[in-house]
Amino acid sequence: MNQKNLPLDPNKAYERALYRGCGYSYDDLEKPKIAIANSWSEINPGHIHLRKLSEIVKKTIRKNGGTPMEFNTIGICDGIANSGNFAKYVLPSRDIIANSVESTIKAYDFDGVIMMCSCDKIIPGMLMAAARCEIPTVFITGGVMQEKIFNKGPLKDKRFVTSDIKEAIGRLKADKLTKEEFHLIESSTCCSPGACNMMGTANTMASIVEVMGLSLPGCATMSAISEEREILCIKSGERILDLVKENITALEFITEKNIRNAIKVALSLGGSTNMILHMCALAREINLTIDHFTFDEISKKTPLLTKLKPASNYTVSDFHNAGGIRMLMKKLSPHLDLTASNILKIKLSEYLKNAKPIENEIIHDLHNPINKEGGIAVLKGNLAPEGAIIKQSALKTEMKRHKGPAKVFDSEEGVRDALNYNKVEKGDVLVIRYEGPKGGPGMRELSIPAAMLVGMGLGSTVAMVTDGRYSGATRGPCIGHVCPEAFEGGPIALIENGDIIEIDIEKRKLNVLLSDKELHERKKNWVKPEPKITAGYLNLYRKVVSSAKYGAYIN
């Protein structure tokens, strides 16, 4: 375009000049500005391939008459950070992501945005930002890591995904693995970029995005490094420009009906308990109030139609090959609101109509569910008056009821040491407290102790109860999100070694067998501990974060 013919607003001269310094032409600045919000980094396998994919997206946007403008946000890997105090920063990073993406999009006044993201806190953080920004939005989640199948050696023909690594720690401790086998699992399992190939939080949230209609079909579960993902990136780049032209914003899809549909699908596939935190926080962005009891109500009416690693031997890739999210939604369709729409501009009823069934044993039919209830149960009792969560789809039948003496720890480190030094006995209930949003602070996940418990063969005799949280892929008798948390004076703060704790999943009960009078006396003598962290971001976070019951959002 001839610069002299541009109807330039003198008041925008500084803005244009600075864009010119970034390499944009006057032609570029006349076209729709499409943000590429990318969580690429070199320190997270779920994100390390996103720069390559973003180049495909940007090329497509340019070809179709838009100007792509890429910026980055942070993306912590839960697994890498899952050690000691470092893990306390992971959940709070969700709100940093939401705020940074919102701030950049609003400051630059973009016309549309492609959200390129993967992993546990990044997808929900970008969902929250999308709700706030209210511009045309397409999500491209990063896809799944390849599974590792050994073709020789002591593990020949066995396949592994990342959840197997954590359980291998416990298996090594229990002499169920040799050091050679352990090293092979550690060194070879993560064999490609992508999100962990299990139904943890990353793949649960990617599935939720697809159900809500914010990503294209198959995006949640296809391989991170496949040709079909590159084709999806091209189609997504084309789609965002159509949405901009028609001014169809993210809030067309971040609606109550889509949120409820997404919750039902996630419960039906045995999704992560962490989704409760994220969906409660997202709902708040559109002035919809839900809490973890909402999930329990839905779970009681939603059948479990699939179970994936670590709750079964099937991987997310197996699920994708069986039809993935679209096929699960078709089978679950009588439970869904089929008037919901997606970025293809079609109603869910039409979208599912042409989904062809694939014969498989992975996605069950409604008349033959794995369980009549969904994957998550919310318990209540004098130990958790405001609720606690368990992934019941990953629990052995014999642990649906359990009564045993408490062994109390005031941090994750304490219970990890007890497991390492064989101080846990069959029948115990391990109580880990002061790990909630305020008390941690940060509500770090206890995934390593939980996986060690299972790997050591204690998953059918020992329970865990905490005001912290677990990995989305945790299995076994692991109860988290106990509310009120210990730091707020919840009953979990009053438990003593030897107190008898009773768990009944079917009746949704979590009680300590103490009288109200005894609990009242202990509460009178309880002294609130000093904060563990008194400087930096976590010091601010602990002062403003809500209860886990409502999503641990920044209030």
Q: What pLDDT is stored for residue 118 in this prediction?
A: 96
**Phi/psi at 88 (5° precision):** -70, -15
Task: Decide if pLDDT at 3 tops 60.
Answer: no
CA distance 92 to 490: 22
Task: Decide if pLDDT at 84 tops 90.
Answer: no
**Phi/psi at 85 (5° precision):** -65, -20
Active-site residue flag, 515? no
Q: Quick one: tokens of 555?
A: 């209030």
Q: How confident is the model at residue 1 (pLDDT cuts 50, 70, 90)?
A: very low
Q: Quick one: tokens of 66?
A: 């838009």
Q: What is the mean pLDDT of residues 370-392?
A: 97
The answer to whether 429 and 407 have CB atoms below 8 angstroms apart is yes
Helix, strand counts (H, E) of the chain: 20, 14
Bond into 529 cis (ω within 30)? no
Mind listing the pLDDT tens digit for each residue in 20-59?
999 999 999 999 999 999 999 999 999 999 999 999 999 9
Which amino acid appears at position 538 of this protein?
L
Where would I find the beta strands (DSSP E) of 451-552? Answer: 463-466, 478-480, 500-504, 509-512
Same fold, 25-146+195-354 and 378-550: no
Q: Environment class of residue 192 by beta-carbon count within 10 Å: exposed (0-12), middle (13-18) or buried (19+)?
A: middle
Q: Quick one: tokens of 230?
A: 């590159």
Which amino acid appears at position 551 of this protein?
G
Mind listing the pLDDT tens digit for each residue in 209-253?
999 999 999 999 999 999 999 999 999 999 999 999 999 999 999
> Within 10 Å of residue 476's Cβ, how many Cβ atoms?
25
The answer to whether 479 and 389 have CB atoms below 8 angstroms apart is yes
Q: How confident is the model at residue 281 (pLDDT cuts 50, 70, 90)?
A: very high
Count of residues in the chain? 555
Given the DSSP bridges, would you call strands 463-466 and 429-432 parallel, antiparallel or unpaired?
A: parallel
**Phi/psi at 241 (5° precision):** -70, -35
Angle between helices 324-332 and 256-268 (to 10 degrees): 100
Q: Who wins on pLDDT, 429 or 355?
A: 429
CA distance 491 to 512: 9
Q: What is the chain's mean pLDDT, rounded?
A: 95
pTM over 0.85: yes
Q: What pLDDT is stored for residue 417 in this prediction?
A: 93
At 530 the three-state DSSP class reads coil
Q: What pLDDT is stored for residue 451 in this prediction?
A: 86
Which one is catalytic: 39, 118, 268, 471?
Answer: 471
34: which strand partners?
Answer: 68, 112
**Could you tell me the residue ranges of all domains in the chain?**
25-146+195-354, 151-186, 378-550
Mind listing the pLDDT tens digit for each residue in 168-197?
988 998 899 999 999 999 999 999 999 999
CA distance 80 to 153: 27
Task: Decide if pLDDT at 2 tops 50.
Answer: no
Please tell me the CATH superfamily of domain 378-550, with its number: IlvD/EDD C-terminal domain-like (3.50.30.80)
CA distance 486 to 445: 16
CA distance 182 to 492: 36
The mean-pLDDT minimum among 112-121, 150-159, 182-191, 355-364 falls in 355-364
The answer to whether 267 and 390 have CB atoms below 8 angstroms apart is no
Top-tier CATH class for 25-146+195-354: alpha beta
